[in-house]
A and B are shown apart, each in its own frame.
Chain A
Amino acid sequence: MSTASGPVLAADGTPLKRSLARALRVQKIRALLLIAPLLLFVLVSFVAPIADMLFRSVENQIVAETLPRTTKALRSWDPEAQELPDEAVFEAAYYDIFIAAERKQHTRLGSRLNYEQTGMSSLFRKSGRGLDDIGEVYQDQFKDLDRNWDEPEPWVELMGAPSWVAALQDWEKGQPLPPFALRDGVADLLPLTAREYALFARFTQQEDGKSPLKEEPWTAVHTALYTDLAAADLSGYDGPRAEMLRAADAAVDAPGFETVRFRDGFAEIDEDWLSPDVWRTIQIYSPAYTSGYFLNAVDMQKTPEGVGLRDERERIYGLLFKRTMFMSLMITFSCILLAYPVAYLLANLPMRSANLLMILVLLPFWTSLLVRTSAWKVMLQQQGVINDTLVWLGLVDDAARLVMINNQLGTIIAMTHILLPFMILPMYSVMSTIPPSYVRAAKSLGASNWTAFWRVYFPQSVPGIGAGSILVFILAIGYYITPEIVGGTTGTFISNRIAYHISSSLNWGLAAALGTILLGVVLVLYWAYDRIVGIDNVKLGG
């Protein structure tokens, strides 16, 4: 047999490697199919939310989407100079906020920007209502000139393509509305008006489901008409409603036609629009992705000069992160101290007593978390069981009862109790695998009880401590209910802040950034643990 030449062949003559790969592939596919439901579940319920959170923490499309023209116009503005942006920016902001108000998106943008600068929310809310005042100036004058300017049909004829107009006239309720199309040439003649009318027509048809033949146009369309007419030359125009348009053009050009500067219009709504800070904020947060949430989460902010620390008064997250870390470490540490002897007893007591003890360890799992936490409130409060006992024993003066709740101490006590089983169980499962013969061997070799424990038993129980500590620390760092109930103001965690942003302030971006940082911290700690102790040193049993 010449096995040395060429690749080894299988019985059917194909190279052995290939037939092996084929055989294995079938197995792999089968295995994959078997775990597919679980994989899908994990992806949907675990990976996807985390990915979404990571994305939300940098996502900032709302500013550019709601104020597309304003952010574009602001690009050339120099925020360093103590000057307001020019009229073009105000004009762009007028049209942007107008349509945003029609779509009821201006309040959302207001709340988004309010995270960066307080007062933005009310500013946008007011402006949504107030912008009509600017347009009404023009609307009224055009209406006085010719009643038709306030009627829907002339506008339809003027702006729409004839085919659309015809289709619209035949339209009956219940049928789909014909899609809007601009009349040829009108966009060159009256560019702004065409744009605004198109926005109006599409919005009316699609969002409201109504016919533009029945709805009078927005005041923004009148404003645009004024701007166009002031610049346009209508001499060659012979399309529909030429008479009406020429008359309007003449009126606009005539002295005595009342105009409003956009800037003054905005100032009329709220003086704040004249503060460069407002425009600066809009400019800084106009990119689609922002590091703003993350900066905010570490007590920093963007300024025109770059990134800087926030005001002393506004810095809270650094403190909260540090406190969360410190308290989680304290909780982990006290859990180790309390759990070690219990786990040792569990592993070394005779079966019957060990089982009883195990039930006592597991008992807390059968009571609601809320009940356990509230029980600590009862125990620890100033008129509570512990203080009463101490006073009764005379150890503490009635006037100087200990404060053990609504502070860090309360949180540490309650959480140590609640997380204790998570420390005991891994420790126990590791300890129960240590045969008693090791300690016996150590003693027979001359080690005292303490030496035998410290040099032989303890090192072998370290993997249990490691596993328990990781479990408790990671649970503690993200704990929410217990600090909320017993933590008061000084004993709350970063997670309480995250919950606040999720459910009360609705600043999900910031909540996501805080969550992402927390995740990062845990991963870094995990990595550090792996480097120092080694992750294969962690055992949950066996």
Chain B
Amino acid sequence: MAEQGTDSAFVAFERVQKSYDGETLVVKDLNLSMPKGEFLTMLGPSGSGKTTCLMMLAGFETATHGEIRLDGVSINNIPPHKRGIGMVFQNYALFPHMTVAENLSFPLEVRKIGKSDREAKVKRALDMVQMGAFGGRRPAQLSGGQQQRIALARALVFEPELVLMDEPLGALDKQLREHMQFEITRLAHELGITVVYVTHDQTEALTMSDRVAVFNDGRIQQLDPPDVLYEKPANSFVAQFIGENNTLEGVVTRIEGETCVVRLDDGEELDATPVNVTTVGERTRVSIRPERVEFNRDRLKPGAHTLKAEVLEFIYMGDIFRTRLKVAGNEDFVIKTRNAPDQVRLEPGTEIEIGWLPQDCRALDAS
């Protein structure tokens, strides 16, 4: 996974481990390197160690083992306030006893920046998040979205090169959230800052990031740009975790370079791309995205394997149709088709044959 040379990296985790209680490792052997200006998202289920990684980077937790470097310098022994990393907290952590302007000028004051300079910077930061008129208010007098923007402005006002955000949009409603996602990415690109962003929400991760690190069980499962993550999941956890996914289990019967044949448990065969299967006879779990399943024979390659399927349910969803099938004993096999004028609406109870291009079907680990 360490595909880049860590020398050029702006942020680098090297063989980092973390344990809180001395018994279990919360973060296991983390290696990560980010170039300057990258927007990286840490995505993963609850308890997978995302916040812990962020806190180690910010300096509020110490790594049990390994090294964290910032701009080539090891920061393991630098206290948080000297790291110069901006941070946006999940509950915003705006100081309730200070006004918005005082909140923003706090990081400048502790850096001993002169008054007029300070005021100019605070004003610029407030304008940047379109909150120029709210400088005199207390945080309690702002709405959630406004507080969120102030928290963002405060993390940016002292011009840090690295900004960390821990689920900053968790408390907002869907619409505001989408708006803020856009604002954050816009600002990040305009200012050229490096961002490490933590979220639960995969759409958020996919739409905002340059690269996404999928965490599970204290390890990075896959670190790739969103499209690669979605289309070429490296293992079955990632395939399951990102987007909707159909899985079928079976045994590899043949491997020929870029394709392999898998025999399902009921005897049917299909074509797939081997990802982490290497030997014939190995058990595997194949994964196909619902929108890549084809039931029109004409569009499939001649000689391609097909499977029998029974239509169980047809759901009209406006822009798409969602059809649930029973395939090789699996009753949760879903296909999605675009609502186009010539699209067929499958009737429940009909028998069809389905297939796909081998590169859309990935044979992953069976666990």
Enumerate chain A interface residues (CB-CB to B < 8 A).
Answer: 435, 437-438, 440-449, 451-452, 455-456, 459-460
Number of A-B contacts (CB under 8 A): 64
Contacts A459-B97, A460-B96, A460-B97; is A444 near B91 (CB within 8 Å)? Answer: no
Q: Return 12 A-B CB contacts under 8 Å, by A number.
A: A437-B93, A438-B93, A438-B95, A442-B95, A443-B81, A444-B87, A445-B81, A445-B86, A445-B110, A446-B82, A447-B110, A455-B106
State the CA gap A445–B164 with chains docked (Å). Answer: 12
Query: Apart from A435-B91, A440-B87, what 19 extra A-B contacts exist at CB < 8 Å?
Result: A437-B89, A438-B93, A440-B58, A440-B60, A441-B87, A442-B95, A442-B106, A443-B60, A444-B58, A444-B80, A444-B81, A444-B83, A445-B106, A445-B154, A446-B82, A446-B84, A449-B79, A449-B81, A460-B96
Contacts of A456 in B (CB 8 A): 95
Interface-centre pick from B84, B106, B107, B154 (highest chain A CB count, 10 A)? B106
Contacts of A438 in B (CB 8 A): 93, 95
Closest to B58 in A: A444
Interface positions of B from 137 to 159, Cβ below 8 Å from A: 154-155, 158
State the CA gap A78–B236 with chains docked (Å). Answer: 113
State the CA gap A444–B196 with chains docked (Å). Answer: 14
Q: Within 8 Å of chain A (Cβ to Cβ): is B334?
A: no
Interface-centre pick from A435, A446, A452, A460 (highest chain B CB count, 10 A)? A446
Contacts of A435 in B (CB 8 A): 91, 93
Contacts of B164 in A (CB 8 A): 444
Which residue of the partner chain, among B95, B96, B97, B107, contacts A446 with CB atoms under 8 Å? Answer: B107
State the Cβ distance, A494 to closest chain B Cβ, in Å.
Answer: 37
Contacts of B89 in A (CB 8 A): 437, 440-441
Which residue of the partner chain, among A441, A446, A448, A449, contacts B93 with CB atoms under 8 Å? Answer: A441
State the CA gap A130–B41 with chains docked (Å). Answer: 106
Closest 7 CB pairs of A and B: A445-B107, A441-B93, A444-B87, A437-B93, A443-B80, A459-B97, A443-B81
Contacts of B96 in A (CB 8 A): 460
State the Cβ distance, B362 to closest chain A Cβ, in Å.
Answer: 41
Tell me if B's interface is mostly helix, strand, loop or mixed.
loop
State the Cβ distance, A272 to closest chain B Cβ, in Å.
Answer: 69
State the CA gap A155–B86 with chains docked (Å). Answer: 109
Q: Within 8 Å of chain A (Cβ to Cβ): is B63?
A: no
State the CA gap A437–B82 with chains docked (Å). Answer: 17
Tell me if A's interface is mostly helix, strand, loop or mixed.
helix
State the Cβ distance, B53 to closest chain A Cβ, in Å.
Answer: 15
State the CA gap A438–B89 with chains docked (Å). Answer: 9
State the CA gap A446–B84 with chains docked (Å). Answer: 7
Q: Within 8 Å of chain A (Cβ to Cβ): is B174?
A: no
Closest to A441 in B: B93
Contacts A452-B81, A459-B97, A460-B97; is A446 near B110 (CB within 8 Å)? Answer: yes
Q: Within 8 Å of chain A (Cβ to Cβ): is B111?
A: yes
Q: Within 8 Å of chain A (Cβ to Cβ): is B40?
A: no
Q: Is the beta-carbon distance between A445 and B97 smaller than 8 angstroms?
A: no
Contacts of B110 in A (CB 8 A): 445-448, 451
Contacts of A444 in B (CB 8 A): 58, 80-81, 83, 85-87, 155, 164
Contacts of B155 in A (CB 8 A): 444-445
State the CA gap A449–B79 with chains docked (Å). Answer: 10
Closest to B96 in A: A460
Closest to A455 in B: B106
State the CA gap A459–B154 with chains docked (Å). Answer: 19
Map CB proximity to A onto B255-269 as digits: 1 under 8 Å, 0 otherwise. 000000000000000
Contacts of B158 in A (CB 8 A): 445-446
Interface-centre pick from B80, B86, B90, B155 (highest chain A CB count, 10 A)? B80
State the Cβ distance, B118 to closest chain A Cβ, in Å.
Answer: 13
State the CA gap A440–B86 with chains docked (Å). Answer: 11
State the CA gap A286–B84 with chains docked (Å). Answer: 81
Contacts of A459 in B (CB 8 A): 97
Closest to B111 in A: A446
Closest to B102 in A: A455
Contacts of A447 in B (CB 8 A): 81, 106-107, 110
Map CB proximity to A onto B82-120 as digits: 1 under 8 Å, 0 otherwise. 111111011101011100000000110011000000000
Map CB proximity to A onto B209-253 as digits: 1 under 8 Å, 0 otherwise. 000000000000000000000000000000000000000000000
Which residue of the partner chain, among B84, B86, B91, B97, contacts A437 with CB atoms under 8 Å? Answer: B91
State the Cβ distance, A538 to closest chain B Cβ, in Å.
Answer: 15
State the CA gap A330–B350 with chains docked (Å). Answer: 90
State the CA gap A456–B94 with chains docked (Å). Answer: 10
Contacts of A443 in B (CB 8 A): 59-60, 79-81
Closest to B166 in A: A437
State the CA gap A24–B60 with chains docked (Å). Answer: 55
Interface-centre pick from A437, A445, A447 (highest chain B CB count, 10 A)? A445
State the Cβ distance, B159 to closest chain A Cβ, in Å.
Answer: 11
Contacts of B84 in A (CB 8 A): 446
Closest to B164 in A: A444
State the CA gap A202–B154 with chains docked (Å). Answer: 91
Q: Is the beta-carbon distance between A440 and B97 smaller than 8 angstroms?
A: no
State the Cβ distance, A224 to closest chain B Cβ, in Å.
Answer: 82
State the CA gap A148–B111 with chains docked (Å). Answer: 112
Contacts of A446 in B (CB 8 A): 81-82, 84, 107, 110-111, 158
State the CA gap A449–B60 with chains docked (Å). Answer: 12
State the CA gap A287–B96 with chains docked (Å). Answer: 59
